[in-house]
Structure 1
């Protein structure tokens, strides 16, 4: 069974499903704004919040990065990784213009992240981009929270994303 989200009320199918709570989160290897690696292995021993979205150049996506940037400063032993298929240059431009410093940006433009996490949109006008979702991982990579936002234009449930982190 594949998951679905929606864009302006039209159903969009995803190529897979988010990892279930209690499952091991798939390893990831993303590209940071400095073109260096952003890898799950490098975050071992830390709790990780994956803020996943289509593009930093859209309003709701930009809001989620700003909000998680604010929230990240108060998290203990946790890293927020904002993941999209935007090129690292676009992510760096956005962070510079917005003063974003407390989250890590990770581009999935040359990885299997979308397939591994079940968030690649398989149809619709944004096919190939990532759906809006949040996945929280414990220090050992176990999924603590997994939320697919039902409508791409809506923000994720920040309270639920942070509640599992205590």
Structure 2
């Protein structure tokens, strides 16, 4: 799928995942430096909200909107994944009042980016993650996927929620 940043083509690398594929389980670092795994079968739905950096306006808006939507979900865990350092993620959550979802960093090994096919391989944001949303069902299958064609655009907010209803 072609992806652009400010209308300029960029390449994304890693294994492309599609609806129906098993979502790989990957270890990520939390804002308190704990390590946890997301993906795979968890017995609940998982909404994985992927952003290049919480330090940008679009990423911050996307995270705030998913935080609001997560408050009404009783059958899902909602995550934000970026390459931001855990300290910056913690500061962002404290400043913005983000309490209904958890933030995770892929900065150590880029395993999430590689295993979910969203690692930016070139362009000004090379090494960060492309903007995307994945929904994983309780059995670990991907039931929704959106990789934003233009990184500076927000994703669809309603479709991921509808995928778990």
| Aligned-pair CA distance for 1:38 | 2.5
Alignment of 1:12-161 (within 5 A): 12-16=10-14, 18-40=16-38, 44-111=42-109, 112-161=111-160
Instruction: Find the residue that maps to 2:47 and give its secondary structure.
Output: strand
Cα distance in structure 2, aligned partners of 1:160 and 1:18:
20
Unaligned stretches of 5+ residues in structure 2: none
Q: Is the 8 A contact 1:49 1:78 kept in 2?
A: yes
Provide TM-score, normalisation by structure 2.
0.95
RMSD: 1.4
Instruction: Find the residue that maps to 1:79 and give its secondary structure.
Output: strand
Unaligned stretches of 5+ residues in structure 1: none
Runs of 4+ in 1 over 3 A off after TM superposition: none
| Aligned-pair CA distance for 1:40 | 2.4
Provide TM-score, normalisation by structure 1.
0.94
Corresponding residue for residue 4 of structure 2? 6
- How many residues of Structure 1 are paired with residues of Structure 2 in the alignment? 164
| Aligned-pair CA distance for 1:43 | 7.3
